């Protein structure tokens, strides 16, 4: 009988040590995201964004929606990370917008719009 009591107490100690902060009553929220940069490189652009928070829900996707008056495209990072960079498809010369997005188990959030220019090389 003492063996079961000691085993139970030991299990309680280890389960508490692995979870020092009780977050069971905290509500998860959609992530927050902001754009960091848009750098043109020939016919492409490197778009960088930062997920500033994803409270109590793991990040599942992040990327950019981009385009112009007639073009709507989306590119997603291979691995969703706090800071990520994606490469656009080949674009023609002109001015483009880019909007970062991040998705977790609660929902999808959009960041502020940034603009970039593709010039003929």
Q: What is residue 61's predicted lDDT score, i.e. its pLDDT?
A: 97
Question: So what's the pLDDT on residue 4?
Answer: 60
> What domains lie within the chain, and their CATH numbers?
32-118 (2.60.40.10)
pTM above 0.85, yes or no: no
Q: What is the pLDDT of residue 17?
A: 47
> In the numeric block, which tokens belong to residue 119?
């010039």
Average pLDDT of each block of 10 consecutive residues along the chain (121 residues)? 60 54 72 97 97 93 97 97 97 98 96 96 74
> Would you state the pLDDT for residue 9?
62
Q: Is there a contact between 29 and 55 (Cβ–Cβ < 8 Å)?
A: yes
Secondary structure element (H or E) that encloses residue 10, with its range: helix 2-18
pLDDT score, position 67: 98
CA–CA separation, 115 and 98 (whole Å): 6
Comparing CA positions, the residue from 62, 45, 31, 50 lying closest to residue 115 is 45
Nearest to 64 by CA among 41, 43, 85: 85
pLDDT of residue 96: 98
The pLDDT, as a whole number, for residue 14 is 57
Q: What is the pLDDT of residue 27?
A: 82
Residue 74 token pair? 């989306």
Predicted local distance difference test score (pLDDT) of residue 92: 96
Contact 85, 51 (CB under 8 A): no
């Amino acid at each position: 009988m003492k063996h079961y009591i000691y085993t139970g107490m030991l299990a309680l100690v280890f389960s508490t040590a692995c979870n020092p902060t009780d977050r069971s009553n905290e509500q998860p929220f959609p992530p927050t995201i902001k754009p960091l940069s848009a750098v043109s490189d020939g016919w492409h652009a490197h778009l960088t964004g930062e997920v500033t928070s994803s409270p109590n829900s793991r990040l599942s996707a992040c990327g950019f929606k981009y385009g112009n008056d007639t073009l709507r495209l989306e590119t997603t990072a291979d691995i969703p990370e706090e800071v990520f960079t994606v490469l656009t498809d080949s674009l023609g010369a002109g001015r483009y917008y880019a909007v970062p997005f991040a998705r977790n188990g609660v929902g999808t959030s959009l960041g502020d719009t940034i603009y970039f220019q593709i010039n003929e090389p």
